[in-house]
Amino acid sequence: MVVIDLNQDKAMGDVMDLNHGKAFAPHPVNTWYGDYEDCKDADIVCICAGANQKPGETRLDLVEKKFKYI
């Protein structure tokens, strides 16, 4: 699994978090920070995008905002 983000530090942190959970995966999973070139032969691509939570905004407000994207 390749994690790609404009914010490289965040992506690398996400990879570290995912790697901590690998022991609980039903089968071996390789996870690393990469770029779009790493996805050229991928069978599945998942794009996760959404709005950030603003100061004073509740998580429920954020969920309602994100449903507008779906």
The answer to whether the CB of 19 falls within 8 A of the CB of 11 is no
The pTM score is 0.65
Distance between CA atoms of residues 52 and 70, nearest Å: 16
Pick the residue with more confidence: 1 or 48?
Answer: 1
How many CB atoms lie under 10 A from the CB of residue 46? 6
Distance between CA atoms of residues 15 and 2, nearest Å: 8
Q: How confident is the model at residue 19 (pLDDT cuts 50, 70, 90)?
A: very high
The answer to whether the CB of 34 falls within 8 A of the CB of 2 is yes
The answer to whether the CB of 1 falls within 8 A of the CB of 29 is yes
pLDDT digits (tens, 9 = 90+) for 34-69: 999 999 999 998 888 777 788 998 988 888 877 776
